[in-house]
């Protein structure tokens, strides 16, 4: 994975999501037409080096990014012991819906088309949240995700959805293939050769970022098409 650059100024923001306030890092490049909201999962946070790298590539492509912690500090402490909140898809989706509403009301982001980038269980949360805000969410990308955990909601997703899985992540490939069959929207499954679940192999995460950037630029901006 390439080094994460800090060339784009970021703002530490407090995102209101229902009754809680979530910490986030917001970065809005000049002339951005779209913004990508990151949905972390499986014990991750806005500090995830993988998602930070993908966010950097998206910013270099002219997209704004918002990385937030979907759990509060207290909830994270509980989840470290029980590991159950990271699988509470309804809770995570509710937080994403709240963050989406925050973006729609925030003066610096209300005009931007919104996309979701979901990793692991965060991918299922992104799909569920997109169904709750179909007019607001324009695209979804899943990295090594568990879209199958969205269940029957998959049939109602309207946002164009890209599923990215590592070629060696065989159980997750099958889960994504099953989810892909249930989606009724514009959809695509990309398998990155010789990559495992975390895309730690040379060039693997770079390929994830490239695929995600292409997808979001297609559906969040007028810059290019698939």
Domain spans of the chain, in order of start: 11-220
Residue 97's closest CA among 135, 63, 59?
A: 135
Are 55 and 116 in contact by the 8 Å Cβ rule? The answer is no
Is 1's pLDDT higher than 70?
A: no
Mean pLDDT of the chain: 90
Band (pLDDT 50/70/90 cuts) for residue 56 is: very high
Give Dmax over CA atoms of the chain in angstroms: 45
Residue 70's closest CA among 43, 36, 34?
A: 43
Band (pLDDT 50/70/90 cuts) for residue 8 is: low
Over residues 57-112, the pLDDT tens digits come to 999 999 999 999 888 878 777 767 777 677 789 999 999 999 999 999 999 999 99
Based on its alpha-carbon atoms, the radius of gyration of the chain, rounded to whole angstroms, reads: 16
Over residues 111-127, the pLDDT tens digits come to 999 999 999 999 999 99
Is 19's pLDDT higher than 90?
A: no
Which residue in this structure is represented by tokens 């098409």?
Answer: 225
Average of per-residue pLDDT across 24-51? 85
DSSP state, 144? S
158-to-98, 135, 189, 213 alpha-carbon distances in Å = 19, 9, 16, 20
Least confident of 12-16, 126-130, 221-225: 221-225
Band (pLDDT 50/70/90 cuts) for residue 35 is: very high
The DSSP secondary structure of 105-119, one letter per residue, reads: HSTTTTTSEEEEEEE
pLDDT for the residue 225: 47
Distance CA 154, CA 181 (A): 9
The phi, psi pair for 192, rounded to 5°, reads: -85, 115
Is 49's pLDDT higher than 60?
A: yes
The phi, psi pair for 197, rounded to 5°, reads: -60, -40
Distance CA 201, CA 1 (A): 8
Angle at 210 between CA 125 and CA 147, to 5 degrees: 20
pLDDT for the residue 44: 58
Is 226's pLDDT higher than 90?
A: no
Over residues 177-189, the pLDDT tens digits come to 999 999 999 999 9
Are 64 and 34 in contact by the 8 Å Cβ rule? The answer is yes
pLDDT for the residue 6: 56
131-to-35, 114, 186 alpha-carbon distances in Å = 18, 13, 14
Is 11-220 CATH 3.40.50.1820? yes
Is 200's pLDDT higher than 80?
A: yes
Is 220's pLDDT higher than 50?
A: yes
DSSP state, 2? P
């Amino acid at each position: 994975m390439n080094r994460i650059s800090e060339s784009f100024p970021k703002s530490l923001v407090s995102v209101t999501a229902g009754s809680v306030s979530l910490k986030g890092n917001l970065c809005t490049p000049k002339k951005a037409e779209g913004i990508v909201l990151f949905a972390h999962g499986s014990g991750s946070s806005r500090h995830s080096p993988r998602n930070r790298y993908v966010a950097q590539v998206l910013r270099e492509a002219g997209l704004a990014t918002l990385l937030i912690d979907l759990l509060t500090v207290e909830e994270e402490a509980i989840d470290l012991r029980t590991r159950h909140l990271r699988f509470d898809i309804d809770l995570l989706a509710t937080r994403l819906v709240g963050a989406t509403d925050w973006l729609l009301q925030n003066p610096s982001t209300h005009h931007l088309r919104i996309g979701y980038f979901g990793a692991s269980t965060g991918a299922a949360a992104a799909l569920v949240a997109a169904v709750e805000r179909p007019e607001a969410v324009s695209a979804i990308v899943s990295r090594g995700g568990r879209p199958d955990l969205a269940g029957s909601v998959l049939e109602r997703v309207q946002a164009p959805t890209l599923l990215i899985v590592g070629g060696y992540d065989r159980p997750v490939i099958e889960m994504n293939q099953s989810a892909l069959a249930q989606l009724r929207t514009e959809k695509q499954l990309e398998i990155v050769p010789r990559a495992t679940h975390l895309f730690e192999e040379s060039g693997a995460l770079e390929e994830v970022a490239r695929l995600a950037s292409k997808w979001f630029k297609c559906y969040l901006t007028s810059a290019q098409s698939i």
